[in-house]
Structure 1
């Protein structure tokens, strides 16, 4: 931990002041060390911006949160509102962030969105990912913990609305190759209020899994579909669907 801290902290005064407290709090967890250092660095940059460069005085009473979740959440809370909103919306896409999809759900101009993503990258919440084809631009959360905290910060209703938007955007963007996207579509619509689409794509994902002998996955998709159907007021069409899914389940 001491070696990692010395590599990450550039200011010697801060290093000497904080080293023992960081080691004690992080308890050997490298992710915790990194998040603590990032929090300290953002505090230092903020102080430099305000021309308050007395580091020993500034960090003498600095309280290090006692969990990595707390310090990551505190770093997110320091973001300007606009950047925080983009981070939250991106979290619904998952660990990997496809820029074309993010642009669809944010309705921001591509240039503006890309500049905001570069700022989030500078804060080390996300990182650039090389992707094929080259025309596609991707980012990824630096750690799944950041994505999880951002996702859980959204209101339940907002999350479900964003999942539906993402599902509809995937349908529109990948109309000619939806078969490649059925698992993503099943996931997003399952977590939205669009029950009709959820059942359609959960069944398709189940059929696809069954075809490649991934029977456990197929069963899970079919059971999720049944659960959604059972939560609705069943009409003849839904009863037929339920019967068909049960038949598929029997052969999985």
Structure 2
């Protein structure tokens, strides 16, 4: 998918599945239709992108989802294959790939939602402009939400987005919509993020938003998200209630 600033074509309805999810469904259907057995090789990524009319970033997100489901597997330098059934892997508490809060919730079979505190237009400060690679005073979309899982307050999410990359998002309804999915609908694909994670204590304002005691532990994720063209797209600071969110990952030697 390539960026298109033209507003002539409206995006799909808010209820539509994201592009990577639809691509994953089509790959799954193709495997079943062709009766591909364990170990069968899938077409090359370039061919799959052409068939599905999607970018390689979107394709790899779809394939990663199918890996999580145990349907396909990859072999470095050889391609993608129909996986051999194994015992299901334990659910991950933290995504290894760039994944939105909404996508993580759905993967864990939970209902995402948001209480929108602010959704307006502001100008970039010197610090924000430096991180986003834009001049100070550049128009940004400010989006602040209390993120919900099954109606439970999980985190406070503060986001600043370079408005010129997706100007129509100032009119989107983010009580239910996913920011990442809305960006993809308008031709802007978040590809990677540089993030720091640290523990802090909740101040009175944050405690009030999350319904926790002042001084309670919170896990803070601060990240800069980049487009496929490696341009800074948005800044995001997400403060998770320490007793409602866990971080579990895997480390290994080379």
Do they fold alike, i.e. is TM over 0.5? no
More strand by share: 2
- TM-score with structure 2 setting the length: 0.23
The structure whose RCO (Cα within 8 Å, separation 6+) is larger is: 2
- TM-score with structure 1 setting the length: 0.23
Larger Rg: 1
